[in-house]
């Protein structure tokens, strides 16, 4: 009999890669998706299987982490061997605008999953992975950050995730559950949400290269992140649940890069060398050289500016993870490095916007039923 997995947040970046990985490994995969007024399954549509097929190995259930009755029902119905709790309001800046909802979905939502498993008598049947985050480290206490580094969360998102981290540890200790935290550092991909910094940059670079946008407005260019590829990181999630003992793991590359350097690398992919001048809110990025003769971006042109709107009330300035425990105990090492990740993301966005431009140039426009 194949193993059964339940993924919350299956429509997100990690949910999509993880579902793909588990199906390849022969799992029956169930996912929790939220009801929305428009389709929200773009990232997993390629995995869809006709539910009328008797051998279907991929199923979606309507649900929400803020509703325990529905989580209990789904877990009771599915009786998963493994739950991956990836569902969350995952945008740090947005969490300052919706702090209570973030606490409910990201913090108490984790409790609801753990408690559902306990109430249903599945503590020895179901293993639980909790999507913890490097945002827990917040204000720098030490670098690189490891499983032993103290936490100092700096946003409503991180505070909610801190509750989720500790309630996972507590249920493991109190009820002898196989419940683990993966403390994952930032990981990206062409499936990354459009408002996270890497994807915002690669989309902006692609559009500017194709003459569809003039400038990129950014927040804190000095922030440093340890960026990896989501494909590598979902592999680590799976490995964490295959161990003999439940433990928490840091998953990171061990290399940190500024937002400014990520921008440099992304523009270099389309043959544009960028030079930054000025400081703080007055810093700007200008084209130094442009390799492609057809590129609309010309030397001297201002292409990056800082907009304080994107500054956060409290910022996490420096993240750099120490993945030594994951390397030793899980045998995990990332296959991708940052240059390959940037190349893949820029290429995917150039392809995406080339298609959009082609349609536009051919006279098609987005249908607006109110016109």
The catalytic position among 11, 102, 126, 133 is 133
Q: Is 157 a catalytic residue?
A: yes
Whole-number Å distance between alpha carbons of 237 and 282: 41
The catalytic position among 28, 102, 126, 135 is 135
The catalytic position among 17, 129, 137, 157 is 157
- Contact (CB, 8 A) for 43 and 11: yes
Q: Which is nearer to ligand NDP, 126 or 253 (CB)?
A: 253
Whole-number Å distance between alpha carbons of 116 and 112: 6
Q: How far is CA 107 from the centre of its chain?
A: 17
Query: Which of 5, 7, 223, 252 contacts ligand GDR by CB under 6 A?
Result: 223
Least CB distance to ligand NDP at residue 294 (A): 34
Q: Does 152 bind ligand GDR (CB under 6 A)?
A: no
Contacts of 230 (CB under 8 A, 6+ apart): 13, 14, 17, 187, 188, 189, 191, 192
Site for ligand GDR in 318-347 (CB under 6 A): none
- Ordered DSSP codes for 346-366: HHHHHHHHHHHHHHHHTT---
Q: Is 97 a catalytic residue?
A: no
Query: Which of 200, 203, 231, 264 contacts ligand GDR by CB under 6 A?
Result: 200
Q: Which is nearer to ligand NDP, 87 or 107 (CB)?
A: 87
- Contact (CB, 8 A) for 262 and 203: no
Site for ligand GDR in 67-126 (CB under 6 A): 90, 92-93
Query: Number of C-alpha atoms within 13 angstroms, CB side, residue 30?
Result: 20
Q: Residue 9: which of ligand GDR, ligand NDP, none does it interact with, CB under 5 to 8 A by kind?
A: ligand NDP
Least CB distance to ligand GDR at residue 244 (A): 28
Least CB distance to ligand NDP at residue 8 (A): 6
Residues annotated catalytic, as ranges = 133, 135, 157
């Amino acid at each position: 009999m194949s193993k059964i997995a339940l993924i919350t947040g299956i429509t997100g970046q990690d949910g999509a890669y993880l579902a793909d990985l588990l199906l390849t490994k022969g799992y029956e995969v169930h996912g929790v998706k939220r009801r929305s007024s428009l389709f929200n399954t773009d990232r997993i549509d390629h995995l869809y299987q006709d539910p009328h097929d008797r051998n279907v190995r991929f199923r979606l259930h309507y649900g929400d982490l803020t509703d325990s009755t529905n989580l209990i029902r789904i877990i009771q119905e599915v009786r998963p061997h493994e739950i991956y709790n990836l569902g969350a309001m995952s945008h740090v800046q947005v969490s300052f605008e919706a702090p209570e909802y973030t606490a409910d979905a990201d913090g108490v939502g984790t409790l609801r999953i753990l408690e559902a498993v306990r109430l249903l008598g599945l503590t020895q049947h179901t293993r639980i992975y909790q999507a913890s985050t490097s945002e827990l480290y917040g204000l720098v206490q030490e670098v690189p950050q490891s499983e032993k580094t103290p936490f100092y969360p700096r946003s409503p998102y991180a505070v909610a995730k801190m509750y989720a981290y500790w309630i996972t540890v507590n249920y493991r200790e109190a009820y002898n559950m196989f419940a683990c935290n993966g403390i994952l550092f930032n990981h990206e991909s062409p499936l990354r949400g459009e408002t996270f910094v890497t994807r915002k940059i690669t989309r902006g670079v692609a559009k500017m290269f194709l003459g569809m946008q003039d400038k990129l407005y950014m927040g804190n260019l000095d922030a440093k992140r340890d960026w990896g590829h989501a494909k590598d990181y979902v592999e680590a999630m799976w490995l964490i649940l295959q161990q003999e003992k439940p433990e928490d793991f840091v998953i990171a590359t061990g290399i940190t890069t500024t937002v400014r350097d990520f921008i440099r690398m992304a523009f270099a992919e389309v043959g544009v060398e960028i030079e930054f001048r000025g400081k703080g809110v007055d810093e700007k990025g200008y084209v130094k050289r442009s390799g492609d003769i057809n590129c609309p971006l010309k030397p001297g042109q201002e292409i990056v500016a800082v907009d304080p709107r994107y500054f956060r009330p409290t910022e996490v300035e420096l993240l750099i993870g120490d993945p030594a425990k994951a390397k030793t105990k899980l045998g995990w090492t990332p296959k991708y490095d940052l240059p390959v990740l940037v190349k893949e993301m820029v290429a995917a966005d150039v392809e995406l916007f080339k298609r959009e431009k082609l349609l536009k140039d051919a006279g098609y426009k987005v249908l607006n039923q109110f016109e």
